[in-house]
Structures are given as structure tokens and as C-alpha cells.
Amino acid sequence: MRYGDFTPYDLVLLLQGLSVSLALFVSTTLIGLLVGTLWAVIRFYRLPVLAQLVAFIAELLKNSPVLVQLFLVFFGLPAFLKINVTPTEAAVITLSGNSAAFIYVIAVSAIESVGRDQLEAARVFGLNRWQILRRVIAPQAAAFAVGPLTGLLVNQLQVTSLISVIGVIDLTKVGNILNLRTLKPFVVWTIVGALYYLTAKLVAYAGARLETRLRAHTKWKGL
């Protein structure tokens, strides 16, 4: 077997790289959902100073390149704060913050899509702001947000490929390693692209199913 030939172990390497990409995607998505939704609630309650600070941070994160953010966290923070940041930690911090910024925008739009007449009616029935948020706004906002959120998550899955530049052994990094060893870029990158494509289709499919179920629950069925 020549040095440049593919081996059965290469499939194992690709699957390991894919598992790293998926683990980072899932973890940063969950963190981003938690932080982004919390930011939207802060905006909903119009908390002094905090609401303005959240809006500023979200604008900063969503309007700057992810790669620049990644370099700033991985190279800038250790130099500025004199701390050690591993490639994985830098990837989690950067992707979580970037996801949170876009999820914040989606969540704010979803909350504001709920009719003001419904909020006024809820106040008439004696519901406080927390009850209105939980019982009136959240179910409808969730159904509205799933579509845009699915599109965002598909994009964020592709964005994970950027973390390979700081040394994280994800799917893209494994593809680069195999490309350098085999010198068969068309084959290697076709396989890597196909794996990203199939994973993105699964995310899109799951999002579409969830949106259908949520909209079915919020659809008017009459009295």
C-alpha cells in the first residue's frame, strides 16, 4: 500500500472528526439558546442598563466576522488577560456567543410577533408579566421562531468548520490532514462536503417536523 492511498482507518478519522464537529455544534447551540433567550427576556422586561448592554453585545457579535472573533478569543484573551485558552474552549466561547447574538434577534422578533391585543386581554384577566410571558407569549413565539432558528442552525453547523484553523481536530481538520497525505483533494473534500450536507439536512428535517407540531398546537381550531 502506498503512502498516498486511502485506508479503512481514514473512515474512522472522518467519523471522529464529525463527532467533534457535532459535539461542538450541539453544545454551543444549547448555550446559545439559553443565553440568547435570556437576553430576549431582559429586552422584554426592559431592565435598565442591562437591556441596552445586551443589545450592544448582540449587535457587536452578529455584525463582526466569526473568524475574527475566534482569533480574538484564542490569541487576544490569553495575551490581554494572561490566561490559557485551549482551542476547544475558544471554539465553545466564540460559537456560543455568535449563536446567542442571532438567537436573541430571532427571539425578540418572535416575542414582538404576538399581538398586543392578546397581552392586553391577559392583563385584564389578571395575569402578571411572568405569566403572560410563559402562557401567552412563549408558545406562540416558539412556533414563530422555529423556522428562522432552523435556518440559523444549519448555517452555524457550517460555521463550525472555521474552528479547524486554531487546531481543533474537527471534520474539516481531518479532511485537511487526509488531503495532505493522499493528495486527492477532489475525493477528500467531496466526502467532507457530503457529510456536512447530510448532517445539515437532518437538522433541517428535525426543525421542519418541530415547526409543524408547534404550529399545529397554536392553530385556531374554533370553539
The answer to which of 21-25, 77-81, 171-175, 201-205 has the lowest mean pLDDT is 77-81
Give yes or no for residue 73 having a pLDDT over 70: yes
Give the DSSP letter string of 65-115.
-HHHHHHIIIIIHHHHH-----HHHHHHHHHHHHHHHHHHHHHHHHHHTS-
- pLDDT at 220 > cutoff 60: no
- Domain residue limits, the chain: 8-217
| The predicted structure's pLDDT at residue 223 | 41
Query: Tens digit of pLDDT for each residue in 86-130?
Result: 999 999 999 999 999 999 999 998 888 877 777 778 787 777 777
Q: What percent of the chain has pLDDT over 90?
A: 60
pLDDT > 50? residue 146: yes
| 216 pLDDT tier (thresholds 50, 70, 90) | low
CB 55: neighbour CB atoms within 10 A?
A: 16
CATH number of 8-217: 1.10.3720.10
| pLDDT value at residue 86 | 94
